[in-house]
Amino acid sequence: MAIKKYKPVTPGQRNKAISSFEEITAKKPYKPLLVPLKSTGGRNNTGQMTVRYRGGGHKRMYRLVDFIRNRDEFKATVLTIEYDPNRSARIALIEYEDGKKSYILAPNGLQVGQVVESGAAASPDLGNCLPLSAIPVGTIVHAVELRPGQGAVMARSAGTYAQLAAREGNYAILRLPSGETRMVPVACRATVGTVSNPDHNLESFGKAGRTRHLGKRPHNRGVVMNPHDHPMGGGEGRASGGHPRSRKGLPAKGYKTRNPKAVSNKFIIERRKK
């Protein structure tokens, strides 16, 4: 999973640095696990633009990734490691003993032919999905549930992981990628290992065209707008804009937006690092 740089024979290659894709073993996805993915262009059901700076981009098909992993009675064999345009991590196509196939998030180091399994009886090896009650303390995990049976919601991006720090009663204490420490029910499941493609943050597009292929349009700053269009707009000459805030006036850069009455506050032991 190395980063590949190019000899700049064109201007767009001068600062280009992308993944080498050396871990990818399949050129085409498994068709029965594909569904169409409609592009909204930032418009709602009435055609009104509700999110700016979206549009265009390459057409995609969504890969149905299994984030629940509750087929405990069958072991599965890894068939391929594939690229997924909808996420930064790689995905793996696995086949269960009864012939059913599904996609899972590929942990870093997962190999074709490797056997993975799930359930409390599984061993805490790379790629296996277990309840937090069955994982040894100190283990690095990813794809963590917040509620039992909900499916993985935390630590799913490329190169991320959480660490099982301790267990107290019915709760496990996890140290999350953001630096936050929080309690999660021990019945929730997690997958052993870190998420694949850890060099994703080192990639550099090198030209604006690659951003357009992702469906992102040019983004203009608030300070260059008029006062009618943005709170930071206006002023004579190049005004810095005063206090940084969103277009709707919500302060940025340090202003806390989390609801102090959120029910989940009682599960957070230490907030994320600033």
Residue 1's pLDDT is 65
In what helix (H) or strand (E) does residue 36 lie, and over which residues does it extend? strand 34-36
Residue 272's pLDDT is 85
Residue ranges of the chain with per-residue pLDDT less than 50: none
Residue 274's pLDDT is 67
> Tokens 């085409």 identify what position?
28
- Chain centre distance of CA 238: 37
Q: How far apart are CA 77 and CA 95, in angstroms?
A: 5
Length of the chain: 274
**Structure pTM?**
0.92
Residue 257's pLDDT is 87
Domains of the chain by range and CATH? 3-201 (2.40.50.140)
Q: What is the pLDDT of residues 176-194, one digit of tens each?
A: 999 999 999 999 999 999 9
